[in-house]
A = this chain, B = another copy of it.
Amino acid sequence: MAKSDNIPSPAVRRLSLYLRQLEVFHDTDRRKVSSRELGEALGLSDAQVRKDLAYFGQFGHPGIGYRVSELIQRVRQILGTDKKSNVLLVGAGNLGRALIAYRGFSKRGFEVVAVFDNDPKLIGQKMDGQNSMRIQSLKDMPKMVRQHNIRLGILAVPGTAAQSAADTMIAAGIRGILNFAPTTLQADTAISVSSVDLAVHLEQLSFQLGVTIT
């Protein structure tokens, strides 16, 4: 019954957006929602919404729509976020500290349980706020990964340090990396990498402005 074959990756990306929007509906006590309504909120067609969800199973009810809380549960299961998972962070610079302070991760089931940096001046220091985490040396990573069963890591170091830090993460047993460094990471195909380059996004917008009929 594993339908998980041949699912377009854009469909997987949108699945996260559906979940986000469904949670908004849930918080405002909406019980059910149609593909048209869900799509409208996200700027997608109703057909797109139905086809995307259908890749993963039959969640809807003809004539009714989708039951919000039921669909939220299903989607979380598919994404693997129905249970909390532990995440580590490499890089305790400005961006790293902001990411730690960001509440959005834990809200979605991801708990940052360890922070690493190579700067001797930072190692041993506490992260800001009430959080009792201390910054550790990259050497301690394998031990922490085992102890806390960590599979995902966030990489927020300068571009020059990124590949070597990624190698360390992979050697320590990390299976997926969210990369904020402006570098294309080379890694085994068994490792999932998702990259966010902040400048690249601004360049996209800059290009759009040039193209748009002014």
A residues sitting closer than 8 Å to B (CB atoms) are 4, 12-13, 15-17, 19-21, 41-43, 78-81, 85, 87, 94-95, 97-99, 101-102, 104-105, 107-108, 110, 151-152, 154, 175-178, 182, 184, 190, 192, 194, 196-212
Q: Evaluate whether A97 and B98 lie within 8 angstroms (CB atoms) in the complex, with A17-B200, A204-B16 already known.
A: yes
Contacts of A13 in B (CB 8 A): 200, 204
Question: Once bound together, how far apart are the Cα atoms of A202 and B102, in whole Å?
Answer: 13
How many copies the complex holds: the figure is: 2
Check A194 against B184 for contact (C-beta < 8 Å): no
A84 to chain B, nearest CB (A): 11
Contacts of A108 in B (CB 8 A): 199, 202-203
Question: Once bound together, how far apart are the Cα atoms of A178 and B196, in whole Å?
Answer: 13
A64 to chain B, nearest CB (A): 24
Contacts of A102 in B (CB 8 A): 94-95, 198
Q: Is the interface of A mostly helix, strand, loop or mixed?
A: helix
Check A199 against B151 for contact (C-beta < 8 Å): no
Please give 11 more A-B residue pairs, beta carbons under 8 A apart, in addition to A17-B197, A178-B198, A178-B205.
A4-B211, A16-B204, A79-B206, A81-B203, A104-B198, A108-B202, A110-B206, A175-B209, A176-B206, A178-B201, A194-B204
Closest to A206 in B: B80
Q: Pick the residue among B105, B151, B201 that contacts A209 (CB under 8 A).
A: B151
Check B199 against A194 for contact (C-beta < 8 Å): no
Question: Once bound together, how far apart are the Cα atoms of A16 and B206, in whole Å?
Answer: 11
Q: Evaluate whether A198 and B196 lie within 8 angstroms (CB atoms) in the complex, with A20-B182, A209-B175 already known.
A: yes
Check B196 against A196 for contact (C-beta < 8 Å): yes
Contacts of A176 in B (CB 8 A): 205-206, 208-209
Question: Once bound together, how far apart are the Cα atoms of A101 and B158, in whole Å?
Answer: 13
Check A205 against B152 for contact (C-beta < 8 Å): yes
